Amino acid sequence: MRIGLYGGSFNPAHEGHRHVCLTALRRLRLDRIWWLVTPGNPLKDRGDLAPLDERAARARAVARDPRITVTTVEAEIGSRFTRDTLRFLVGRRPGIRFVWIMGADSLATFHRWKGFGDIAALVPIAVIDRPGFTLAAPCARAASVLGRYRVPERDAPRLASMIPPAWIYLHGPRSDLSSTAIRRTAGVNAP
């Protein structure tokens, strides 16, 4: 089984999240994707964070694909950091080939994540291009540190089978939707 893990606040979930996952399912030839709706991102202000159950419900409504499962596993296991969540999942499901999925905007700040090197050592990483980050993200600090582990885009179907560290940057159609912009337009806690 090849499963993509797509974590975030999903505050709110939107079609851009779905776009990223459909791209990853197709390009990486994944069987499923789990959305990991986090209780709160340690690098972001929690003041405008909608309740977890509301964000998870909205994510389920947006996902609309039987291959995408929305979870709140981080709250269930008491994890605050992606590194710890991945250690838990990889330890519990050693037969599954996990891939961490992130947008290029996250790659730009990945070096600030607690244990980003540990994350890269636990699972292969797929970075999906985002508007405004096409040129900047591959030059980001974490991308430079992990540069020797970047694999060519043509190897996307094999990424889930690669031994980490391994990461890929996937180009293609992009979505300019953003949870931050949606909250600004609709009001701070709009679902």
Residue ranges covered by each domain of the chain: 2-186
**Cβ neighbours for 134, distance < 8 A, ≥ 6 positions apart:** 104, 171
Please name the CATH architecture into which domain 2-186 falls.
3-Layer(aba) Sandwich (3.40)
Instruction: Please count the residues of the chain.
Output: 191
- Please report the pLDDT score of residue 176 as a whole number: 58
**Cβ neighbours for 41, distance < 8 A, ≥ 6 positions apart:** 8, 9
pTM value?
0.88
Which pLDDT tens digit goes with each residue over 46-73? 678 999 999 999 999 999 999 999 999 9
Which pLDDT tens digit goes with each residue over 127-140? 999 888 888 899 99
